[in-house]
Amino acid sequence: MRIIRDRRSIRKYLSKNVPQEIIARIIDAARWAPSAHNAQPWRFLIIFDPEVKRRLAEAMASDWLKDLERDSVPQEEAKRLTEESIKRFSEAPVLIVAAITMREMYRYPDRRRQRFEHLMATQSLAAAIQNLLLAAHAEGLGACWFCAPLFCQETVRRVLGMPRDVEPQALITIGYPAERPEPPPRKPLKEITFKNYWGVSL
């Protein structure tokens, strides 16, 4: 419970390298998450190289800028947001691109069940990412989960040479924390929990 409650989303890191063996332990923790059919549909691409981080950050920001322009965000604001994004991702000591593949998931003849199968793969990856975040915290590292790759999957695939059947879902920044955020507020149990029937308080 202490590890769960003490973990924070860390966005600022010390300029200190993270040993690969620590990242390997974190990924090992991720792969022990539960998954639908035990298919383990997760794939993790770990980026240490500063040039690769920069290329990915700039390519993703370019896609985001187009979205911001379509949303009529003022030019100066859009520029500020995308520059912050490039800085955040390119300067993080480690980036982990978390993805799914449907290779070992069930194949159904109808779209409805196949959509649910894809959702189960996504839920499985989310469980693995939570393990990853908790393991990083236990190792004395900070981490933050971003869903940005969902909005530019083709770009992420292209920059990183990922196969078409691997779908980028998330980007996790990792490093030694340079901040200690206060815990964000949590909704009380009575607001999110019901007993036997909806609307009956626990």
pLDDT at 187: 95
Q: Which residues contact 115 (CB under 8 A, 6 or more apart)?
A: none
CB 125 within 8 A of CB 169: yes
Q: What is the CATH number of domain 2-192?
A: 3.40.109.10
Q: How many CB atoms lie within 10 A of CB 94?
A: 22
Per-residue 3-state assignment (H helix, E strand, C coil) for 64-95: HHHHHHHCCCCHHHHHHHHHHHHHHHHHCCEE
pLDDT at 201: 86
CB 173 within 8 A of CB 144: yes
pLDDT at 57: 98
Q: Which residues contact 100 (CB under 8 A, 6 or more apart)?
A: 41, 42, 43, 118, 121, 122, 124, 125, 166, 167, 169
* Spatial distance between the Cα atoms of 200 and 202, rounded to a whole number of angstroms: 7
**pTM for the whole structure:** 0.95
User: pLDDT 10s digit of each residue in the chain, 202 long?
Assistant: 999 999 999 999 999 999 999 999 999 999 999 999 999 999 999 999 999 999 999 999 999 999 999 999 999 999 999 999 999 999 999 999 999 999 999 999 999 999 999 999 999 999 999 999 999 999 999 999 999 999 999 999 999 999 999 999 999 999 999 999 999 999 999 999 999 999 998 8
CB 86 within 8 A of CB 174: no
Percent helix / strand / coil, the chain, rounded to 5: 50, 15, 35
pLDDT at 157: 98
DSSP state of 182: P
* Spatial distance between the Cα atoms of 176 and 136, rounded to a whole number of angstroms: 10
